[in-house]
Amino acid sequence: MADLYLDEVWDKNPFKMYQVMEEMNLFFRMLADRKPVRMLEIGILYGGTTFLFANALQDGGMLISIDKDLPAIYHQFLPYVAAVKRIDIHLLRTDSHSARTPELVKTLLQDRPLDALFIDGDHSYDGVKQDFKMYSPLVRSGGIIGLHDIVDHPTETNCQVNLFWKNLLNNPDYEHTEIINDRRQGKCGIGVLFKK
């Protein structure tokens, strides 16, 4: 994928992101090069990653984004994305840890597998572990799973994604890579798993 296209997507993004741009650019390229059709995003915050992921999907694809604190303003995504891509977007205001949420996701997918999953919701150890346990089985063989915030964070932030990430590194079901701009940055970093 040409860097020019990445720059154009960044320039068109009307929503903020809590990301290191260089890291998300690499993840976006990695994702888009795989030509995903169906993707699930857990955690939306400002909506910037939702816009990028929608642009990474193939026309006719589906993006499901989950956030229990989803403000009504996020429905502004639809006209922005519709101007660029023909995809179905489902913005779900629900708790990803609720037992009914995976069933709702499966219904939307019509039992088709996900090509990609991005976990950026509950950053506690148990929270990220639960999201991974509940939704990683929905990803197809050869699919991609991204976990945000794998860099060591200050302890007062209660971000423990890095600890969960370290436990995944020896999992024989996945190959992995890390996208980290600077290990001393105290935030962000993306762990990427490739499902065998």
87 falls within a domain: yes
> Is residue 114 within a helix (H) or strand (E), and if so which, with residue range?
strand 114-119
3 falls within a domain: no
Angle at 5 between CA 145 and CA 189, to 5 degrees: 35
Alpha-carbon distance of 128 to 116, in angstroms, equals 16
6 falls within a domain: no
Write the pLDDT tens digit of every residue in 136-194: 999 999 999 999 999 998 877 889 999 999 999 999 999 999 999 998 888 899 999 99
User: Residue 153: what pLDDT?
Assistant: 85
140 falls within a domain: yes
| CATH number of domain containing 177 | 3.40.50.150
Among 150, 187, 186, 190, residue whose Cα is nearest residue 30: 190
Using an 8 Å Cβ cutoff, are 113 and 139 in contact? yes
2 falls within a domain: no
Task: Kindly state the DSSP code that residue 176 receives in the 8-state scheme.
Answer: E
Contacts of 4 (CB under 8 A, 6+ apart): none
12 falls within a domain: no
Note the pTM of the prediction, 2 decimals.
Answer: 0.90
User: Residue 80: what pLDDT?
Assistant: 65
User: Residue 165: what pLDDT?
Assistant: 97
Q: Which domain holds residue 113?
A: 20-195
Q: How many domains does the structure of the chain reveal? A: 1
Poorest-pLDDT segment among 8-12, 122-126, 180-184: 8-12
Contacts of 152 (CB under 8 A, 6+ apart): 162, 183, 186
User: Residue 2: what pLDDT?
Assistant: 36
Using an 8 Å Cβ cutoff, are 150 and 190 in contact? yes
116 falls within a domain: yes
Residue 117 carries which side chain, given as an amino acid letter?
Answer: L
Q: Which residue has the higher pLDDT, 79 or 146?
A: 146
79 falls within a domain: yes
